[in-house]
Amino acid sequence: MNWNEWREKARKLLNEGVAPAEAVWNDSPEFQFSVLERKPLEKPTIPKEFLEIGPLIAAARDPDRWDLLYRIVYRLNHESIHLLNVTVDNDVKRAMDLVKSVRKDIHKMHAFVRFKKIDIDGQETYIAWHKPEHLTIELGTPFFARRFGDKPWSIFSPDASAHWDLKELTFGPGMAEHEFTHQDEFDEVWKTYYKSIFNPARLNLKMMRQEMSPKYWSSMPETALIHELVRETPQRLQKMAAAPQVRAEVPAKLGLRDLKSLASNCTTCPWAKSSTQTVFGEGDSQARLMVVGEQPGSEEDLAGHAFIGPAGKVLADILNDLGIKREEIYITNAVKHFKWTPSDDGKARIHKKPSGGDMHACKPWLEAEIAAIRPKVIIALGVTAATSILGRLVKIGEERERNITNNALAENVIVSWHPSSILRAFNQEDRDQKIAELRSDLLRAFKLSAL
């Protein structure tokens, strides 16, 4: 039985006044009930909140989920329409626990699915095998249709499968793991990526198993490296300890003009030699709102101004739309030099993501800018900026709606998408969503700075 089949049967039972104790549910569309005293309902009331959590509960791998759903919908109609607000109620508590578990399982699916490339009749296609904890294929896979809608793909699980043909998402039977044996070059890409981001100084096996449960490892190629990386951790830590940690030396209590002059001669990081110049922040020296980005791009490096390239154009369009004048705020980057690598033909400079060492080296300049301006609100755009400001790794999608107030650098910190992530969006829907969210976050930050 699925959610829609359950709804049809539950509606009939409610119409006939069948109490929860009478109905016997199972995972087939059939049900049984005995004849006791009933309270028929001509038109059952189903609140929107129940319709939102119902599909999640129906996807839980719990044999009592159908009984639980019917008890709740029956009580919503016969006891209180506000039952779901009573968080201490046993049925409500159990329902919310299942909702939380299923949502977490969907999140894990989005994080841990690993596609492999195959060729079907000359067409490039991607396939993956994943073992979810719950029955989440139908709920979790529309995400991939939105994010990877320009390629056909299939995701298999033991219970069901999902298939995207560039137009429609359909579902079919599952597949056992031993039947899914395909390997490709993407396996090595994942291994290389995982090895590059593995930080031995932050190794916590207990936390690793909580965040990336071993039950997912069989379908994730990079996990084959875990034992090797753990074994090498002591040696890698010794190398890290021996390596010098460079950090800019910035005199205390300087004004912006003096800071900019000093920063122009900074050679602390290796990128000072390969870039054209230091790109310092600019704007109102008494701004109540500071915008912090990642690092200058190629155009910014040549011109010496922050946010004037393609990402800067996206930011400028949003600021203009909101009526926020650039000269009334302060705009800077967490890293002040352009980090790049040459293109294959050697004719272009390709942006390279700043490392933790790069952020560490430039952090004194950023802190000095903040101390000189003393903004009421800082909005950090992108992971690099957010990490520099907050001193920890940040997941933008999970934290962008928060107002972070326990930070030593500013009274209020908001994180949001970097405009470059909009330029890299997988499709128009993803692009439009991120523009709307960045616009909303900038407006919220601006209004908060004006209070």
pLDDT for the residue numbered 16: 86
Predicted TM-score (pTM) of this structure: 0.50
CA distances for 306 relative to 60, 288, 383, angstroms: 49, 18, 17
Residue with tokens 């900019």: 260
Q: 18-22, 31-35, 254-258, 323-327: which range is least confident on average? A: 31-35
More confident residue, 223 or 276: 276
Split into its structural domains, the chain has a count of 4
pLDDT for the residue numbered 438: 97
pLDDT for the residue numbered 191: 52
Residues 273 and 396 in one domain: yes
Q: Using alpha carbons, select from 385, 357, 366 the residue that is nearest to residue 268.
A: 357
Band (pLDDT 50/70/90 cuts) for residue 232 is low
Band (pLDDT 50/70/90 cuts) for residue 123 is confident
More confident residue, 112 or 57: 57
d(CA 99, CA 91): 12
Average pLDDT over residues 156-164: 93
Residues 233 and 329 in one domain: no
Query: Does the pLDDT at position 124 exceed 90?
Result: no
pLDDT for the residue numbered 228: 66
Residue 421 within any structural domain of the chain: yes
d(CA 270, CA 272): 5
Q: Which residues contact 125 (CB under 8 A, 6 or more apart)?
A: 117, 118, 119, 151, 152, 153, 154
Residue 324 within any structural domain of the chain: yes
More confident residue, 249 or 310: 310
Q: Using alpha carbons, select from 12, 11, 18, 22 the residue that is nearest to residue 45.
A: 11
Residues 124 and 155 in one domain: yes
- Give the CA-trace dihedral at 47, 51, 53, 58, to 10 degrees: 130
pLDDT for the residue numbered 34: 47
Average pLDDT over residues 389-399: 87
Residue 249 within any structural domain of the chain: no
pLDDT for the residue numbered 241: 52
Residue 248 within any structural domain of the chain: no
Residue 251 within any structural domain of the chain: no
Residues 233 and 268 in one domain: no
Tens digits of per-residue pLDDT, 357-388?
A: 888 889 999 999 999 999 999 999 999 999 99
**CA 265 to chain CA centroid, nearest Å:** 37
d(CA 440, CA 435): 8
Band (pLDDT 50/70/90 cuts) for residue 227 is low
More confident residue, 205 or 92: 92
Q: Tell me the residue range of the domain where 163 lies.
A: 113-179
Residues 197 and 298 in one domain: no
